Amino acid sequence: MEFDSIDTTIATLGHPKITSSIRRHEKDSISRNFVHDSDRILVDVNLKSLIKLAEEGKDFPAFELAGPRSKIYFDPSKLRCALVTCGGLCPGLNDIIRAIVLELFYGYGVRNIYGFRYGLQGFIPKYGHDVIELKPEIVVNIHEMGGSILGSSRGPQPLDEIIDSLERMNIGILFMIGGDGTLMAATKIADAISQRDLKISVVGIPKTIDNDIYMVSRSFGFHTAVDVATQAIKGAHNESEGYPNGIGLIKLMGRHSGFIAATATLAQQDVNFVLIPEVDFDLEGSDGFLASLERRLQHRGHAVIVVAEGAGQKFFDAQTTERDKSGNIKLQDIGLFLKDTILSYFNRKNIEVSLKYIDPSYLIRSLPANANDNVFCSFLGRDAVHAGMAGKTKLLIGRWNNHFVHLPLSASAGKRKQISPKGKLWMSVLGATGQGSLKND
């Protein structure tokens, strides 16, 4: 990854001149330590890389540290804020909403906070979705619930109508919670706002259960997904051990990146084969998946397989270009395909197997966040508020090198993080499973 070409500049609506309303007296036990824009977190902490940049006379790329500023741009008594959740459901959405509302209300004294229903549809008059006035009593317990109290939707909406709605309601900060498609939409919305010369801050909170947002080391909901996926692996392992030639097959989320499959495998090391989008594999042949599975059954009498939903798409005759409303190519169902392929393979060989297929995907997506993600979401939501109040715009809040930082939307939108087939994570998976390459040379 080339870090020296990354532009870390954060756009602002203007110079912040208002003393922050979260300032406390110096003797107050809850006085704040404010963050300055000069507080930076290095993008690349590799010493060799830093020495090379120094020798070339280049600056060290660094992100702004997230957190409260001593001076803010918006007057809290006059500010109106909007929240929207877009795309697929994910554990932690309600936690983010709760953290944003509570920090705005109690931290800054903002009283006008609005939730737009069902994603970007909420801004478009023809849908007729109500706007929710968000107050502490509305959000106080929502972290115990799965899904999003604002609902969601997929797909683009007319840009001008979105900006018109923001302008009509005199919105000052728009918080957009969503994945790659949402971050690209946020970029377009922020650009359109600038073209109209409006003073509206656009702050993104990156959401993807797959943990595949570029330049974001961890996205919320991922730890919850791994937690629940390990339970599925335990169940599959127990089922496979309970029958002669038992096979447990689990399909997990991961359209383009296999982070959930790989991490859950390391968390619950009962898995023998892991199939992910980043690593090619063959079905047939002496070193292919089916022959390797047969050898595993001969040796141990049972096997557990984890497959990410985006793996093995090359095996389908009709490579579809059909896309969903978010613009994602519709994937073929690799889980059911593998189930049928495995059963057919052993049937041809007159080998009796007992295969149990588990797909916990929608169960995982709609669950409340676990304790780890609860805390993580609280940090993300509150730092999003601090950024917006300071007048920063066209940015997202991310985790990088163990710090919460401000990233320009341009650094992540339209790009994807994937597992390196030669990296530590995948090498650890190979070591834990012993599966080999599953490719015929």
**3-state DSSP assignment of residue 220:** strand
pLDDT digits (tens, 9 = 90+) for 177-216: 998 889 999 999 999 999 999 999 999 999 989 999 888 9
Ordered by start, the domain boundaries in the chain are: 11-219+367-412, 223-363+424-433
Catalytic residue among 210, 227, 270, 383: 210
pLDDT digits (tens, 9 = 90+) for 40-54: 999 888 888 878 878
pTM as predicted: 0.92
pLDDT of 327: 60
pLDDT digits (tens, 9 = 90+) for 318-362: 655 666 655 666 788 999 999 999 999 999 999 999 999 999 988
pLDDT of 55: 80
Do the strands 62-65 and 403-408 form a parallel or antiparallel pair, or are they unpaired? antiparallel
Fold of 11-219+367-412: Rossmann fold (3.40.50)
**Which residue, among 33, 95, 85, has the nearest Cα to 375 in the 3D structure?**
95
Mean pLDDT within 373-398 = 97
pLDDT of 335: 95
Q: What string of DSSP letters covers 314-370? A: GG-SS----B-TTSPBPPP-HHHHHHHHHHHHHHHTT---EEEEE--HHHHHTSPP-
Fold of 223-363+424-433: Rossmann fold (3.40.50)
Contact criterion met (CB below 8 Å) for 150 and 84: yes
pLDDT of 28: 54
Percent of the chain with pLDDT over 70: 94
- Where do the H-state alpha helices sit in 130-208? 136-139, 159-168, 180-195
pLDDT of 98: 98
Asked if the model's pLDDT at residue 11 lies above 60, the reply is yes
Mean pLDDT within 133-146 = 95
pLDDT of 65: 97
Whether 39 is a known active-site residue: answer no
Q: State the angle between helix axes of 259-267 and 222-241 in degrees (0 to 180), rounded to the nearest 10.
A: 60
Q: Minimum mean pLDDT among 54-63, 131-140, 276-285, 395-404: which range?
A: 54-63
pLDDT of 25: 47
Q: Minimum mean pLDDT among 82-86, 321-325, 338-342, 392-396: which range?
A: 321-325
Q: Do 11-219+367-412 and 223-363+424-433 have matching folds? A: yes
Mean pLDDT within 223-248 = 95
- What rounded mean pLDDT belongs to the chain? 92
The backbone torsions φ and ψ at residue 304, rounded to the nearest 5 degrees and listed phi first, read -125, 130
The backbone torsions φ and ψ at residue 201, rounded to the nearest 5 degrees and listed phi first, read -85, 135
Confidence of residue 408 (pLDDT cuts 50, 70, 90): very high
pLDDT digits (tens, 9 = 90+) for 238-263: 999 999 999 999 999 999 999 999 99
pLDDT of 306: 98
Contact criterion met (CB below 8 Å) for 135 and 141: no
pLDDT of 361: 87
Do the strands 403-408 and 395-400 form a parallel or antiparallel pair, or are they unpaired? antiparallel
Confidence of residue 426 (pLDDT cuts 50, 70, 90): very high
pLDDT digits (tens, 9 = 90+) for 120-132: 999 999 999 999 9
Q: Which residue has the higher pLDDT, 28 or 421?
A: 421
Confidence of residue 280 (pLDDT cuts 50, 70, 90): very high
Asked if the model's pLDDT at residue 117 lies above 90, the reply is yes
**3-state DSSP assignment of residue 258:** coil
Cα 181-63-408 angle, rounded to 5 deg: 30
pLDDT of 4: 58
Q: How many CB atoms lie within 10 A of CB 22?
A: 22
Asked if the model's pLDDT at residue 3 lies above 80, the reply is no
**Which residue, among 86, 88, 90, 85, has the nearest Cα to 368 in the 3D structure?**
90
Asked if the model's pLDDT at residue 12 lies above 60, the reply is yes
